[in-house]
Structure 1
Amino acid sequence: MGTPSEPRSSTMRRSQRHGRRLPRRAAADRRSFRGALSTLEQLASAGAQVAVHVVDLDSGEPVLTGDDHVTMPIGGLGVVPLLVEVAASITTGRLDALELIDRASLDPVVTAGLWRHLVVPELPVCDLAILAAAAGDSQAVNALLGRVGIERVQTRMLELGLPSLAILDRYRDRRGPDDAPHLAVGNARDLASLFTQLVNAKAVDPAVSAQVSEWLSLNQDLSLVGAATGLDPFAHDDDAHRILFVNKTGREPGVRVEAGVIAGPRAGVAYALIVCFDDLSITHRLRAHDAFRVLGVDLMEYAH
């Protein structure tokens, strides 16, 4: 692992047990990521697959990287590429924001979300986008995906220079042998890049970037990296301490993912962390969750 005096060009040390590259601090002269480095190294040494990418929004320089090129499952974070395509389609008139979609037209999914608990059977596209962003609603995601299509989402990501990000399938309660093994895949570098483009108004165009960022600012899952911000998970878009926080999380069995942006008075960063682990016990799961929270603390120190 790196030390404060380690030159930027030094090679990342590999885990002796698994042969995977561990995270390194790429800008040792900036605020320390010592806690995150130690925690992520321990996770990798225990057998987890870890990928991380943190980039300074002002300089564009990466400040923490590790296996960020490796494509891994990203669960519900596949919603973000979908929302980009939905917003772009609305902007161009290809999709009507007020078009109603009937829940009865969708295959039932009870994995996650709020819509299945609501009385209203039809919702407009714009409200479904809010449910997808704020609550990771599985039926809302499936409804939107049915309207824009997997192919258009993938084409959009290629146009944005993010080839690793791909939605493979809709939400399902159970995945059979003929189904894609994951909802979505991607690498940490492209995830962080997507959020960088969103906050810099370069994801398609300023209007699309602003709309997607607005939807994501409603995300209520602050249980991972977001736990370090101290923000209200139900109202964190106008914080008195000048914290800008936009994020999305993803979960699958043995997979935890988060990507987003944290900006404060001193700096701003885009980040992505993917952890794939053996979910053998609650201890294994909590160890993975703790890595996100430690990274969150380091990100907050960097930004403030």
Structure 2
Amino acid sequence: MPDARDLPDVQSLPGTLAFCVPGAGEHRADEVLPLASVGKLLLLASVAQGFVTGTLDPEERLTLLDQDYSAGSGLLLKLSAREWTLLDLARLTAAVSDNTATNALLRRVGLERVSAGAAALGLVHTRILDFIREPRLPEHPPTFAVGTARELAALVGGVAGERTWGALVMEWMAGCLDRSMVPAAIPHDPEDSSVPEVPVAGLWVANKTGTDVGTRCDVGVVRGARQVCYAVLTRCALGYEFEMVRGMREIGAVVGRIATA
């Protein structure tokens, strides 16, 4: 089975790449880095827990407010409907990383509740700091979310093993349309959003990505002969993002080999 010696040397990349693949290897796994939209996983976990416990109704309809709308990733900024169910908004947040859906859900759930939920899951450094803002001004928190590769790998491992609210989050992550980073080097069907048990014939991926200027992040679960969780966080100067993505894909190739071994 591939091990830590198979993971690429990331020292030569033009920026910081931190990763954690539990049981295989890690690098700068405890360094706190900006997460961009990977931070939305904390919100999705809180929403899923609310659905399972009954404190949130998946069919509750939420009207989008002007303050919710944000440029960047997503579809709602271009769509005409102003009212969506909480379940719709969660799916949009996971599938297309919709910034407007994220802001609406975060307004409904509350940042304090999301923070408390993250702490209850054992996250110390990984947290959402603010709403999505385009542009982000000096008076705002410096970024949407921060965290560490170790905590995020543990988070997705916990989600993958949790049979109630975790199963919901896994279903939403399986619908993620961005497979351009770590999963780009993993042979899988990106349209297969049904959550399988291990072992799986072939390879299956569920993930959440984050993209911002100088930031590319990807956290996910790969299932094949075995399950492998990963978190890869990068930070670099403007213009070097794709070189960091190439490094992420090298890690993805190893993750895929581990999952098939």
Give the TM-score band, short-chain normalised: over 0.9
Q: Which runs of 5+ in 2 are unaligned?
A: none
Q: TM-score, normalised by structure 1?
A: 0.80
Contact 2:69-2:103 within 8 A present in 1 as well: no
Deviation per CA, 1:46-77, whole angstroms, max 9, x where unpaired? 4x12211001xxxxxx3111111111110101
Q: 1:108 aligns with which of 48, 60, 69?
A: 69
Q: 1:145 to 1:130 in 2, by over 3 A?
A: same
Tell me if the contact between 1:115 and 1:140 (Cα under 8 Å) persists in the aligned partners: yes
Please tell me whether residue 277 in structure 1 is matched to residue 236 in structure 2: yes
Instruction: Give the AA of the match of 1:300.
Output: G
Q: Distance in 1 between matches of 2:235 and 2:161?
A: 30
The TM-score, its normalising length taken from structure 2, stands at 0.92
Structure 1: any 5+ residue segments left out of the alignment?
Answer: 1-29, 56-61
Q: Find 2:151's aligned residue among 190, 198, 202.
A: 190
The alpha-carbon deviation at position 231 of structure 1 amounts to 3.0
Root-mean-square deviation over aligned CA pairs: 1.8
8 Å contact kept, 2:188–2:202: no
Pairing partner for 2:222 from 259, 262, 271: 262
Between 1 and 2, higher relative CO (CA 8 Å, sep ≥ 6) is seen in 2
Q: Which residue of 1 aligns with 2:58?
A: 97
Query: What is the CA–CA distance in structure 1 between the aligned matches of 2:126 and 2:218, rounded to whole Å?
Result: 14
1:211 aligns with 168
Q: CA deviation at 1:150?
A: 1.0
State the number of aligned residues. Answer: 257
Equivalent of 1:129 in 90, 94, 97: 90
- Quick check: which has more Rg, 1 or 2? 1
Identity %: 32
Q: Which amino acid aligns with 1:41?
A: Q
Looking at structure 2, the residues matched to 130 and 107 of structure 1 have their Cα atoms a distance apart, in angstroms, of: 16
Structure 1 match to 2:257: 301
The ranges of structure 1 where at least 4 consecutive aligned residues each deviate by more than 6 angstroms after the TM superposition are none
Contact 1:255/1:275, CA 8 A, preserved across alignment: yes
Shift of residue 34 of structure 1? 4.8
SS class of match (2:237):
coil
- 1:37 aligned onto 2:8: yes
The equivalent residue for 2:26 is 65
Q: Secondary structure at the match of 2:249?
A: helix
Deviation at 1:211, TM superposition (A): 0.9
What is the SS of the residue equivalent to 2:47?
A: helix
- The aligned amino acid for 2:89 is L
CA distance in 1, matches of 2:195, 2:53: 29
Structure 1 counterpart of 2:51, which letter? Answer: I
Query: In structure 1, the residue corresponding to 2:101 is in which secondary structure?
Result: helix
In the TM superposition, what is the alpha-carbon distance from 1:103 to its structure 2 partner?
A: 2.1
Whether contact under 8 Å (1:54, 1:63) holds in the other structure is yes
Q: How far is the alpha carbon of 1:163 from its aligned partner?
A: 1.2
- Checking the alignment, whether the CA contact within 8 Å between 2:131 and 2:144 is kept in structure 1 is yes
Equivalent-residue separation in structure 1 for 2:118 and 2:140 (angstroms): 22
The letter of the residue matching 2:11 is E
Give the superposition deviation at 1:133.
0.4
Aligned partner of 1:276: which letter?
R
Task: After superposition, give the CA deviation of every residue in 1:267-288 in whole Å (9 maximum; x if it has no partner).
Answer: 3211111110112x3xx22211
> Is residue 131 of structure 2 the alignment partner of residue 170 of structure 1?
yes
